[in-house]
Amino acid sequence: MDDRPARRVAFVSEHLEGAGGLELFELAIAEGLAALGWQVVVSFGAAGDLAERWGAVAEMAPLEGALSRSEAVAGADVAYVHSPHLFRPTLDAARETDRPVVAHLHLPPFHLRAGWKGLVRGRHRWEMDDTVYSKRTHIEAFAAVSDFTRNQWVSSGLPADKVRVIHNGIDPATYHPPTQFERDRIRDELGLGADETVIGYVGRIDLLKGVEELIDAYCDVSDELAPTRLVIAGAPTRDSGDEGRRLSERLRAKSPASVLWLGQRTDVARLYHAFDFLAMPSRWDEPFGLVLIEAMASGVPVLAGRRGGVPEILTGELERCLVTPDRAAIAAALRTMLSCDRSELVRLGIDLVSARFTLARTARAVEQMLSEVIRGRGETGAISGG
């Protein structure tokens, strides 16, 4: 940090619920900044299962309470927002109080059309706010979770000099290899045998995540590799409604008895201790892939789709863990992975996360970005354009 001892950052959030990687990362960064001495305030629309953790590190500012979003931002040196739905409201609140805004890009620019559709129907699906999503943006700085994601947003119109890459990170105190006692305990709770090889999946139940291809591939190899189990932890998003529920029911119906469906879990760090491998064969361009570094830090080798930002994680010797996300390729990769030297993959994964993807490293990079913006505001005294 710079010479000011108590910088104050206002997180602007949608809901304090562990619905996905974005919400969990946002909280982890708040915890990381608090550990570095920052004062943290969070304004939010609805509480949820993460509210207790937020309350341990942040001043809580529920929007239905006395504080408005602009009042929460007013008391901070900088506003910090992670959800694209809140970029515009955050900028509005910051303008009222003359505070700078920093945004974190976890998702691709869904407003763009790609390929021939973009040529025929126009690149933008809907009209965009130039003060947010263009070279004239009034947001002071952006952090993207991968080079892949940064390139997408710069291509969509954001100024390249305002978008830096800050890879996600995890806390090794939370995600760590299990003791034998920890491994035995969670396996006993789940009814998994000590001699069973367990392949885990953690994520939302969505066709784009490759979960159906994983189930089909597992069906192809499970008899060859017995005793093997597939454990699926996750649920459809609330936004998916009846369609998500029907998909979940269909996938459960086609799964063999050796597939264990756990639904949404809040104890994912413990859950990794039951796994021998983790599979994330996404069919879409994952902006990053947080579960991969969580699993590797927990001593679990991974198998992942060669899409989006994932190849930025699995580099060097771990490139062999990348796979084309289709049924045949996943089945072949499972056969190879389950017959290889697991201990070597465990070591490589732990070393990689320790060197590149710790929460402390990520929090320091975010701190540097926020501090630079605050100092820049002190020098200019106004919201800058592109």
Convert the pLDDT of each residue in 272-294 to its tens digit.
999 999 999 999 999 999 999 99
Top pLDDT among 236 and 19 is at 236
pLDDT tops 80 at residue 3: no
The pLDDT value recorded for residue 6 is 67
Task: Return the domain boundaries, the chain.
Answer: 8-169+359-380, 180-356
pLDDT tops 80 at residue 244: yes
**Measuring CA to CA, which residue among 350, 351, 332 is closest to residue 340?**
332
The pLDDT value recorded for residue 379 is 55
Same fold for the domain at 8-169+359-380 and the one at 180-356?
yes
pLDDT tops 80 at residue 168: yes
- Listed in sequence order, the residues at least 6 apart from 378 whose beta carbon sits closer than 8 Å to its beta carbon are none
pLDDT tops 50 at residue 120: no
pLDDT tops 80 at residue 72: yes
The pLDDT value recorded for residue 140 is 96
| φ, ψ of residue 237 in degrees (nearest 5) | -70, 160
Lowest mean pLDDT of 46-60, 194-208, 233-247, 252-266, name the range.
233-247
8 Å CB contact between 258 and 228: yes
What CATH code is assigned to 8-169+359-380?
A: 3.40.50.2000
pLDDT tier at 5 (50, 70, 90 boundaries)?
low
What pLDDT digit, counting tens, does each position of 27-38 carry? 999 999 999 999
d(CA 385, CA 256): 56
d(CA 313, CA 32): 21
pLDDT tops 80 at residue 16: yes
pLDDT tops 50 at residue 44: yes
The pLDDT value recorded for residue 65 is 52
Average pLDDT, the chain: 89
The pLDDT value recorded for residue 127 is 56
pTM of the predicted structure, to 2 decimals: 0.88
For the segment 181-202, the average pLDDT, to the nearest whole number, is 96
The pLDDT value recorded for residue 118 is 47
The alpha carbon of 361 is separated from its chain's Cα centroid by a whole number of angstroms, namely 16
pLDDT tops 50 at residue 384: no
The pLDDT value recorded for residue 129 is 72
The pLDDT value recorded for residue 45 is 87
Class of domain 180-356: alpha beta
What pLDDT digit, counting tens, does each position of 299-331 carry? 999 999 999 999 999 999 999 999 999 999 999
For the segment 142-146, the average pLDDT, to the nearest whole number, is 97
Top pLDDT among 384 and 192 is at 192
For the segment 68-89, the average pLDDT, to the nearest whole number, is 90
d(CA 208, CA 102): 29
The pLDDT value recorded for residue 253 is 96
d(CA 274, CA 287): 27
The pLDDT value recorded for residue 226 is 81
pLDDT tier at 210 (50, 70, 90 boundaries)?
very high
- Encoding tokens for residue 192? 């998994």
